[in-house]
Structure 1
Amino acid sequence: MIQRILIVGAGVIARNHAAATRLLPHVPQLAAADPNPATRASFASEFPEASVYADAAEMLAAPRTGDEVVVVATPPWLHRQYALAAFATGRHVLCEKPLGINVAESDEILAAARAHRLHFACCSVRYLGRPILAEVKRRISSGVLGSPLHVKWQARLTGARPGIEYQPGSRWFLDRSLAGGGCVLDWGPYDVLTWNAVFDPAAVVVENAWISPLQRGPELPAGVTCDVEHHACAALTLVTAKGERIRVDYERSAACFGGRSELYQIEGPRGAINWDWLEWQGNTLRVFADSAGVDAQEIVQIPDDPRETSLHRPVLRFVAFLEGREADLIRDEQAWFNFRILCAIYASAESGQPQTVVKPARP
Structure 2
Amino acid sequence: MTDSLRIGLIGCGDIATKAHVNHLAEAGYTLCAAYNPTRSKAEKVVEKFGGANALACNSLDELLAISHIDVVSITSPPAHHCEQVCQALSAGKHVLCEKPSALIPEENLRIMEAQRISGKKVCFFSSRQRYAPIALKAKEYIEDGKLGEVYRIQARFARRKARPGVDWLTHASWFTDKDKAGGGVVLDMGQYLLDMILDLLNWPEVESLNATTFKGFPHDLPEDRVNDVEEISSIFIRTTSGPLITIDLSATIVDDPIHSIAILGTKAGIDIQYSDTSSKIVYLHEPSGKRGALEEVVIDEGHDGWASKEIYQRFHSAIVNDQETPGTTPEQALRLTTLCQIAYRSAEEKTEIQLAAKTPSA
Note closer, same or farther for the CA distance 1:257–1:304 as it changes in structure 2 (3 Å cut): closer
Q: Tell me the residue number matched to 1:332.
A: 330
Asked if residue 289 in structure 1 is aligned to residue 285 in structure 2, the reply is: yes
Cα deviation per residue 1:227-278 (whole Å; 9 max; x = unaligned)?
A: 1101011110234xxxx31101111110245664444101134432011357
The one-character-per-residue Cα deviations of 1:38-80 (angstroms, maximum 9, x if unpaired) are 3133223212422211211211123x23x71121110111111
- The one-letter amino acid paired with 2:271 is N
The separation in 1 between residues aligned to 2:288 and 2:189, in whole angstroms, is 40
Task: Provide the aligned length of Structure 1 versus Structure 2.
Answer: 352
Tell me the SS of whatever aligns to 2:46.
helix
Q: 2:353 aligns to what?
A: 354
Name the CA shift for 1:86/1:271 in 2 (closer, same or farther; >3 Å).
same
| Secondary structure at 1:74 match in 2 | coil
Partners of 2:159 and 2:27 in 1: CA distance: 35
Query: Over residues 335-357 of structure 1, what are the superposed CA-to-partner deviations in whole Å (9 max), with x where a residue is unaligned?
Result: 32233222221222234341535
Q: Kindly report which structure 2 residues correspond to 1:2-81, keeping only aligned pairs within 5 A, or say none.
A: 3-15=5-17, 16-25=19-28, 27-28=29-30, 30-49=32-51, 50-62=54-66, 64-65=67-68, 68-81=70-83
What 5-or-longer segments of structure 2 have no aligned partner? none
Q: Distance in 2 between matches of 1:262 and 1:179?
A: 23
State whether residues 9 and 34 of structure 1, in contact with CA within 8 Å, keep that contact through their aligned partners in structure 2. yes
In the alignment, the residues of structure 1 paired with residue 27 and residue 149 of structure 2 have an alpha-carbon distance, to the nearest angstrom, of 41
Alignment of 1:60-139 (within 5 A): 60-62=64-66, 64-65=67-68, 68-139=70-141
Alpha-carbon deviation of 1:22? 1.0
1:158-211: CA deviation from partner (whole Å, max 9, x where unpaired): 311111112111121111000000000001121011102211124123421111
2:310 corresponding residue in structure 1? 313
Q: 1:248 aligns with which of 245, 248, 269?
A: 245
Distance in 1 (alpha carbons) for counterparts of 2:203 and 2:274: 20
1:292 positional shift: 5.8
Partner residue of 2:341 out of 321, 336, 343: 343
Could you tell me the TM-score, scaled by structure 2's length?
Answer: 0.87
Contact 2:5 2:316 in 1 (8 A): no
CA distance in 2, matches of 1:218, 1:334: 35
Mark the CA change 1:326 to 1:129 in structure 2 (over 3 Å): closer, same or farther.
farther
Render the CA deviation track for 1:83-114: whole Å, top value 9, x for unaligned: 11111111121110110122221221112111
Per the alignment, residue 223 of structure 2 pairs with 222
Partner of 1:152: 154
Contact in 1 for aligned 2:176/2:226 (Cα 8 Å) = yes
Classify 1:304/1:338 alpha carbon distance in 2 versus 1 (closer, same or farther; 3 Å). farther
Structure 1 residues 355 and 46: alpha-carbon distance in aligned structure 2, compared to 1, 3 A threshold: farther
Paired residues of 1:151 and 1:249 also in contact (CA < 8 A): yes
Aligned to 1:318, the other structure's residue is in SS state helix
Give the root-mean-square deviation of aligned CA atoms: 2.8
What is the CA distance between 1:328 and its match in structure 2? 4.9
Q: Distance in 2 between matches of 1:300 and 1:326?
A: 32
User: Post-superposition shift, 1:143?
Assistant: 3.0
Distance in structure 2 (CA, Å) of the matches to 1:307 and 1:174: 29
Alpha-carbon distance between aligned partners in 2 of 1:312 and 1:142, rounded to the nearest angstrom = 26
Q: 1:99 to 1:326 in 2, by over 3 A?
A: closer
Given that 1:344 and 1:355 are in contact with CA atoms closer than 8 Å, whether structure 2 keeps it comes out as no
Instruction: Answer with 167-176 or 312-321: which moved more.
Output: 312-321
* Unpaired segments ≥5 residues, structure 1: none
Summarize deviations over 1:262-308 as a string: whole Å, max 9, x none.
Answer: 44101134432011357x35232123234864555756234369899
Query: Which residue of 1 is the match for residue 183 of structure 2?
Result: 181
Give identity over the alignment, percent.
24
Amino acid in structure 2 at the alignment position of 1:358: T
Q: Which is further off, 44-53 or 255-264?
A: 255-264
Find the residue that maps to 1:220 and give its secondary structure: coil
Q: Is the 8 A contact 1:131 1:305 kept in 2?
A: no
Distance of 1:296 and 1:262 partners within structure 2: 22
TM normalised by structure 1 equals 0.87
- The 1:296–1:234 alpha-carbon spacing in structure 2 relative to 1, beyond 3 Å, is same
Contact kept? 2:103, 2:337, Cα under 8 Å: no
